[in-house]
């Protein structure tokens, strides 16, 4: 009788190992996800010439402190009205660091699309 119990116990343990093995099959999938995450974390980079191609209210990029921002969706909301259009396609670092209201610098990260080459 004890022998049968041992056999059943062994069978249960073995089935547990098989189940574990099945579980391990999901590891490559996780690696795949990690690769995707890494890709998503790789910042795009743009030259100032790239930025300079986006100069209209419906497509407005600007650069500041080595970063590039697509502020198109903010053009209509800008408290300073159409003046924001003066900055489309340009490196506005000097302006943001000195003249412009601090609130703009706080808002900029929401529009980040990549780094300036
Ligand atoms: C790059 C070209 C830009 C120019 C020439 C510009 C110009 C101005 C001006 C003249 C004002 C003052 C409006 C007033 O109080 O009468 C203003 C306000 C403001 N701008 Fe801009 N702006 C630019 C870009 C941006 C961007 C990209 C953001 C944010 C992502 C931004 C956010 C703001 C905010 C939050 C205010 C209100 C500040 C306050 O109430 O003290 N601006 N802007």
Q: Where are the domains of the chain?
A: 2-41, 45-116
- Picking from 33-42, 47-56, 62-71, which range would have the lowest pLDDT averaged per residue? 33-42
Quick one: 45-116 is in which CATH superfamily?
Cytochrome b5-like heme/steroid binding domain (3.10.120.10)
What is the DSSP code (8-state) at residue 64?
E
Mean local confidence (pLDDT), 10-17: 49
Residue 54 contacts residue 60 (beta carbons within 8 Å): yes
Residue 95 has pLDDT above 60, yes or no: yes
Residue range 97-112, pLDDT digits in tens: 999 999 999 999 999 9
Give the pLDDT confidence score for residue 8 in this predicted structure.
54
Whose Cα sits closest to atom 37 in ligand 1? 79
What is the DSSP code (8-state) at residue 54?
-
Mean local confidence (pLDDT), 47-72: 98
- Per-residue confidence at 42, pLDDT binned at 50, 70, 90? confident
Residue 39 has pLDDT above 60, yes or no: no
- How many Cβ atoms are within 10 Å of 67's Cβ, its own excluded? 19
Q: Ligand 1 centre from 47 Cα, in Å?
A: 24
Whose Cα sits closest to atom 32 in ligand 1? 104
Give the pLDDT confidence score for residue 2 in this predicted structure.
60
- How many Cβ atoms are within 10 Å of 43's Cβ, its own excluded? 12
Residue range 60-73, pLDDT digits in tens: 999 999 999 999 99
């Amino acid at each position: 009788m004890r022998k049968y119990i041992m056999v059943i116990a062994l069978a249960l343990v073995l089935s547990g190992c098989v189940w574990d093995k099945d579980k391990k099959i999901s590891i490559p999938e996780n690696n795949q996800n990690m690769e995707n995450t890494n890709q998503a974390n790789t910042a795009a980079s743009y030259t100032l010439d790239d930025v300079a191609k986006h100069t209209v209210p419906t497509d407005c990029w600007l650069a500041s402190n080595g970063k590039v921002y697509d502020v198109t969706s903010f053009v209509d909301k800008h408290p300073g009205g159409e003046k924001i259009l003066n900055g489309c396609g340009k490196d506005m670092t000097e302006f943001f660091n000195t003249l412009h209201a601090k609130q703009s610098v706080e808002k900029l990260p929401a529009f980040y699309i990549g780094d300036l080459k």
